[in-house]
Amino acid sequence: MLKEEVVEEKKVKSYRDIMAGSKAVATAVKLCDVDVVAVYPITPQTPIAEYIAELVANGELKAEYIKVESEHSALSACVGASAAGARTFTATSSQGLALMHEVLFIASGLRLPIVMVNANRALSAPINIWNDQSDAMASRECGWIQIYVETNQEALDSVIMAYKIAENKDILLPVMVNMDGFVLTHTYEPVEIPSKELVEEYLPKYEPLISLDPENPVTMGAIADPNYYMELKYSQVKALENSKDVVKKEQEEFYKLFGRKYDLIEKYKMENADIILATLGSVSGTIKDVIDKLEREKGYKVGLVRVRLYRPFPKEELLDALKGAEVVGVIEKNVSPGIGGGALFNDIKSALYGKSDAKVIGFVAGLGGRDIPPWDIEKAIEICTLAKKEEVEETYWLGLRRW
Amino acid sequence: MEVAADIPSYVKCRKVCKAKLSANRCFKFRKLLKKVSEEELFSKGHRACSGCGAALALRLALKAAGKNVIVVQPTGCMEVVSTPYPETSWKVPYIHVAFENAAAVASGVEAALKALGKKDRVKVLAIGGDGGTVDIGFQALSGMLERGHDVVYICYDNEAYMNTGVQRSGSTPLGAATTTSPAGKVSFGEDRPKKDMPRIVAAHNIPYVATASVAFPLDYMEKVRKALEVKGPAYIHVLAPCPPGWGYDSAKTIELARLAVDTGMWILYEIENGKERITYKPTVKKPVEEYLRAQKRFRHLSKDIIQRIQEEIDKRWKEIFES
């Protein structure tokens, strides 16, 4: 049989189901044959922890499930397990991610290919369990590869790809797949579940480059004085930068086998668009609808780029995508206090500096689960249109009540 | 004869032994000594101070454990002195992650060994200081014990945060002056008694808990061996004097560690499956003043406080040895 035919046959065994995002993630974990799972439940990540526990309890996933006593220990246990040569998974959200903060840096510094799903949720105080992306944004300098997904299908696919990227011998870095809490984790969508054979074809068994093994003892986590620290950090940062090409390559490989295409940035209606919006995650669905509506009703030419890979930042791709834009409006569910706008706004502005004359406007929206209705997005587009002719403010808060 | 004093069994049987053999001719003693591996898995060249009790505790633990272990350490003195990149003192696989999570990391390592089918061949040994164990690492340790991971956790207790320059920890004894519990006009040093960590650990109902001292190496190593054989979590709390932190001549580490046991400041026992056993009873109970006066950290103590410490010891001594 030809290779294509083999793949076709394996594809036949794939099936479609309607499921919540958290179940899609748990299914991906099962398909990836993860060895060790350490999770501590937190809303809205909880169903992920529950579904995986169920899979282990039913013997569908042969993994060690460590019922840790905190998120700090969850990631620490993953670090230990990954260092000992196991494929590991954890999931968290908001306060949990904040509690992991210290270990996030260590996981990337030790170059361990851990995969984490973060169900994006607002950070306290005031305590709030609803969706925004300030938790992941606060962790953007931790040296992890960060991916933001739009749909449940993309969450499942991204977890599978995440292992392939993380375990690449030239990269060896942890990957954080971000999915909007509740909006994706608790929402049912049709998802195509690839067959185990197909995933095995794509993702081979994990063979660590080095691991904690008495046959070949190594010391991990040594103390590096000023003579060595910078070089070690440099090699880590370089690996993160190089991972962009690996993500690209793995997305193509994935497309060949699974037939679903992903890119570092997703572009929508970019042709002739003089206003281009940029965003992360699930809100792009609503934005696309608004773009269509305004095109139909008012003839507006508005494009959208959804940043899928946020770290490493796809600078060149964004520059290329935004080169025709007069105004770039960044709508995002996080805020950078004290500098204005959100993290993506500031990143895009710095990427465009000296390379483009486009005005960049930051829109902070949807904090703490506040709805982002179509009319707020319309308002943002109107501000961008106005900005073509006159001076406008640099940043706005969408949907903010003033009292 | 002197060396023999550290094997509790020898001391005990010497009393009834008709042969009155000296230590190196005693069959039991020689048998125990023979078990000690000559291989150094914690190699020399590390940066610990001379006379460091903790470094000795690591060296002896590895002699007892052998090659097939993975060592997990939290941040602390021993981690810093033993792994200055690109060098290492560890001839066994070793990982250090952070200060408060050695037990969680060890849980992960153990789970990975299980998942990868290597559990029977490789043991996991976590070794932390008192800061990383009784204070900041307490939650992770409690979690590991409660979940029943097959890990041996050794706490080398030098009774303060020595790595950062002698700040008090939960394990600092009453009256000790540290940089954060200094003695002053209105302070006699640490105003709280030492946290009874082995008892707290024992309350998790794990199969094996023991206390040990670097002055009793054979007893300590025997305990490490036992702990490794046990299925499930085991905990050993070993008293490890610190010359700069406690303030004494670095040649006197063993003497001081023994004095701690002989005065009743530190008691050697083990709890095996809930059954408690004293592994060494001092032949003569020495006054605690002898132990306290030998260290700078206690030299400010007034007669009253020493009396108070002595009374506490007497009470405990009575409960343990005379009941």
Each domain of chain B, given as residue ranges in start order, spans 1-34, 40-321
Interface contact flag, A219 B90, Cβ < 8 Å: yes
Q: How far is A306 from chain B (nearest CA, A)?
A: 36
- Best mutation site among B70, B119, B228 for testing chain A: the one with the most A CBs within 10 Å? B70
Q: Which two tokens stand for residue A158?
A: 């991204």
Residue of A nearest to B85 (CA): A224
Residue of B nearest to A89 (CA): B108
The confidence score (pLDDT) of residue A222 equals: 97
Q: Determine the CATH number of domain B40-321.
A: 3.40.50.970
User: Under DSSP, is residue B96 helix (H, G, I), strand (E, B) or coil?
Assistant: strand
- Best mutation site among A52, A65, A66, A105 for testing chain B: the one with the most B CBs within 10 Å? A66
Contact B30, B24 (CB under 8 A): yes
Q: Determine the CATH number of domain A3-258.
A: 3.40.50.970
The confidence score (pLDDT) of residue B2 equals: 41
| pLDDT digit string, tens, across residues A210-239 | 999 999 999 999 999 999 999 999 999 999
Q: Which residues of B touch A83 (CB under 8 A)?
A: 95, 105, 108-109, 112
- Closest C-alpha to A84, from B154, B128, B123: B123
pLDDT tops 60 at residue A144: yes
- Average pLDDT taken over every residue of chain A: 96
The confidence score (pLDDT) of residue B25 equals: 67
Strand arrangement of the beta sheet that strand A275-279 belongs to: A265-268, A302-307, A275-279, A327-332, A359-364, A395-397
Q: For residues A101-122, give the mean pLDDT.
A: 98
Q: How confident is the model at residue A4 (pLDDT cuts 50, 70, 90)?
A: confident
Query: Which DSSP string corresponds to B234-278?
Result: EEEEEE---IIIIIS-GGGHHHHHHHHHHHTSS--EEEETTEEEE
Q: What distance in Å separates the CA atoms of residue B10 and residue B220, rounded to the nearest whole number?
A: 14
Positive or negative CA dihedral for B81, B84, B90, B91? negative
Peptide bond connecting B86 to the previous residue in cis, omega within 30 degrees of 0: yes
pLDDT tops 50 at residue A155: yes
The confidence score (pLDDT) of residue B3 equals: 46
- Closest C-alpha to A371, from A342, A336, A346, A400: A400
- Closest C-alpha to A280, from A296, A265, A293: A265
Residue of A nearest to B140 (CA): A73
Interface contact flag, B111 A66, Cβ < 8 Å: yes
Q: How far is A373 from chain B (nearest CA, A)?
A: 43
The confidence score (pLDDT) of residue A54 equals: 98
- Best mutation site among B105, B150, B204 for testing chain A: the one with the most A CBs within 10 Å? B105
User: Under DSSP, is residue A50 helix (H, G, I), strand (E, B) or coil?
Assistant: helix
The fold adopted by the segment(s) A265-397 is: Rossmann fold (3.40.50)
The confidence score (pLDDT) of residue B35 equals: 79
Scanning chain B, the segments in alpha helix (DSSP H) are 8-16, 27-34, 53-65, 77-82, 102-115, 130, 138-147, 197-202, 217-229, 253-263, 288-293, 303-321
Contact A74, A90 (CB under 8 A): yes
pTM above 0.90, yes or no: yes
| pLDDT digit string, tens, across residues B101-144 | 999 999 999 999 999 999 999 999 999 999 999 999 999 999 99
- Closest C-alpha to B93, from B45, B55, B41, B47: B41
Q: How far is A273 from chain B (nearest CA, A)?
A: 49
User: Under DSSP, is residue A73 helix (H, G, I), strand (E, B) or coil?
Assistant: helix
| pLDDT digit string, tens, across residues B261-288 | 999 999 999 999 999 999 999 989 999 9
Q: Which two tokens stand for residue A308?
A: 């899928």
Q: Which two tokens stand for residue A213?
A: 């093994």
| pLDDT digit string, tens, across residues A232-246 | 999 999 999 999 999
Contact A140, A116 (CB under 8 A): no
| pLDDT digit string, tens, across residues A249-302 | 999 999 999 999 999 999 999 999 999 999 999 999 999 999 999 999 999 999
Contact B244, B162 (CB under 8 A): yes
CB-nearest partner of A64 from B72, B111, B146: B111
Q: Which residues of A touch B114 (CB under 8 A)?
A: 64
Q: Which two tokens stand for residue B244?
A: 């700069």
- Closest C-alpha to B71, from A66, A86, A212: A212
- Separation in Å, CA A71 to CA A94, A178, B198: 11, 17, 26
pLDDT tops 50 at residue A43: yes
Look up residue B258 and give its amino acid: R
Interface contact flag, A36 B100, Cβ < 8 Å: no
The confidence score (pLDDT) of residue A299 equals: 95
Q: Which residues of A touch B95 (CB under 8 A)?
A: 79-80, 83, 212, 219-221
- What is the mean pLDDT for each group of 10 consecutive residues in chain B (323 residues)? 48 59 68 84 96 98 97 97 97 98 98 96 97 98 98 98 97 98 97 97 98 96 96 98 98 97 97 95 94 98 96 94 81
φ and ψ of A354, to 5 deg: 80, -5
Q: Which residues of A touch B142 (CB under 8 A)?
A: 69
Q: What distance in Å separates the CA atoms of residue A85 and residue A266, rounded to the nearest whole number?
A: 34
φ and ψ of A112, to 5 deg: -105, 130
- Separation in Å, CA A389 to CA A20, A386, A392: 44, 6, 9
The confidence score (pLDDT) of residue B322 equals: 83
Q: How far is B47 from chain A (nearest CA, A)?
A: 12
CB proximity list for B177: less than 8 A, separation 6 or greater: B183, B189, B190, B296, B297, B298, B300
User: Under DSSP, is residue A202 helix (H, G, I), strand (E, B) or coil?
Assistant: helix
CB proximity list for B34: less than 8 A, separation 6 or greater: none
- Count CB atoms within 10 A of the CB of residue B39: 10
The confidence score (pLDDT) of residue A272 equals: 93
Residue of A nearest to B97 (CA): A221
Contact A366, A132 (CB under 8 A): yes
Q: How confident is the model at residue A26 (pLDDT cuts 50, 70, 90)?
A: very high
Radius of gyration for the alpha carbons in chain B, expressed in angstroms and rounded: 19
